[in-house]
Amino acid sequence: MEGSEKMTALEPTTYGAVPEEAAGLDIHDHTDVSDYKTIGSPFVDNPKMSARNVNVYYADKHAIMDVSLDIGENEVIAMIGPSGCGKSTFLRSLNRMNDIIPICRVDGDIKLDGEDIYGTGQDTVLLRARVGMVFQKPNPFPKSIYENVAYGPKIHGLAHNKAEMDEIVEQSLRRASLWDEVKDVLDKPGTGLSGGQQQRLCIARAIAVSPEVILMDEPCSALDPIATARIEELIDELKERFTIAIVTHSMQQAARVSQRTAYFHLGKLIEVGETKQIFTMPSHELTENYITGRFG
């Protein structure tokens, strides 16, 4: 089969599991959403990132259909929806992480501070420093805790000497609420930490390069409830400095951490609004069915 060779490029990588849509999983939902228009207001007054009429294709598969959505400065926006709805694909298109999937094509405008991130001459390395990402499974480098955090600042030349680097490492670990637990073992391997600590290490690594936006793709799905609560607490603190977009399968988590929630279904952005409104009085039947656990 022609497609099978391409599929091997879609194996889970260190960049996290590939979105279900890309992996060609069968989605047992045949709702016709082609005529649906987004309910609610996808636009905000102070957008950090803005997506307009974004379409994403995996070869012939139309994974994201005409999605327009703003991500406001210093807000936490949660993206929810059933498997294969396109939420991870959309998240990954925000820092061009989809570029690593060869069959993937992105149409439409995505801007960061008004600047087209898919424009010619855009350096994806610099883009991903400004728009960092935290994945589902903690993926620290097989290096020491210190080096995990120092890696980004080093390749971006953010520190001029050892003292400055120490400062960046400490501050990043403090902001990720990990400093107190690791300050005496900075030379130990990052992979030796617990799952929750590893995930906070990955968050420290992401914020070490002073990004403006942090994308989180189900950051707590591999963690226990206590580690999850710590990450959620952290997200709340991080939103003072960063803009955060989070994809989660846990509706309670979306309700707890975000100010706005976007509901995706079969590649369409169905509804977006204040998180409180979405969880108490959603306007669209599909949103209601999903968050209340009804079949579609």
Partner 1 sequence: MDENLNLDQHTSQKYNQELETVRAEVLAMGGLVEGQCRKALKALVKGRAELAEEVASSDYKVNEMEVSINAKCTDILALRQPAASDLRVVVAIIRMAADLERIGDEAEKIGRLAQTLAEGRNGSSYRSDPKHLGKSVLDILNGALDAFARLDVEAAIETAAMDPDIDAEFESLTRLLITRMMEKPASVKNLLRVNWCARSLERIGDHAVNICEEVIFLVKGSDVRHLSLKEIQDRFLQPTA
225 contributes a contact to partner 1 by CB under 8 A: no
Buried b (16+ CB within 10 A) or exposed e, 101-133: bebbebebebbbeeeebbeeeeeeeebbbbbbb
Give the range of 2-10, 30-38, 102-110, 284-292 binding partner 1 by CB under 8 A.
Answer: 284-292
Measured from the CB of residue 217, what is the shortest distance to partner 1 in angstroms? Answer: 23
30 contributes a contact to partner 1 by CB under 8 A: no
Measured from the CB of residue 65, what is the shortest distance to partner 1 in angstroms? Answer: 23
DSSP 142-155: SSBHHHHHHHHHHH
276 contributes a contact to partner 1 by CB under 8 A: no
Partner residues linked to 261 by β-bridges: 78, 273
Measured from the CB of residue 294, what is the shortest distance to partner 1 in angstroms? Answer: 4
What gap in Å lies between CA 84 and CA 265, rounded to an integer? 8
Measured from the CB of residue 279, what is the shortest distance to partner 1 in angstroms? Answer: 5
285 contributes a contact to partner 1 by CB under 8 A: yes
Q: Is 59 helix (H, G, I), strand (E, B) or coil?
A: coil
Buried b (16+ CB within 10 A) or exposed e, 152-190: bbeeeebbeeeeebeebbbbbbebbbbbebbeeebeeeb
264 contributes a contact to partner 1 by CB under 8 A: no
Q: Which is nearer to partner 1, 76 or 255 (CB)?
A: 255
262 contributes a contact to partner 1 by CB under 8 A: no
CB 49 within 8 A of CB 110: yes
Give the range of 27-35, 48-56, 205-213, 282-290 binding partner 1 by CB under 8 A.
Answer: 282-290
Binds partner 1 by CB under 8 A, chosen from 131, 255, 269, 270 = 255
What gap in Å lies between CA 179 and CA 201, rounded to an integer? 9
292 contributes a contact to partner 1 by CB under 8 A: yes
CB 30 within 8 A of CB 82: no
Question: Footprint of partner 1 on this chain (CB under 8 A)?
Answer: 251-252, 255, 279-282, 285, 287-289, 291-295
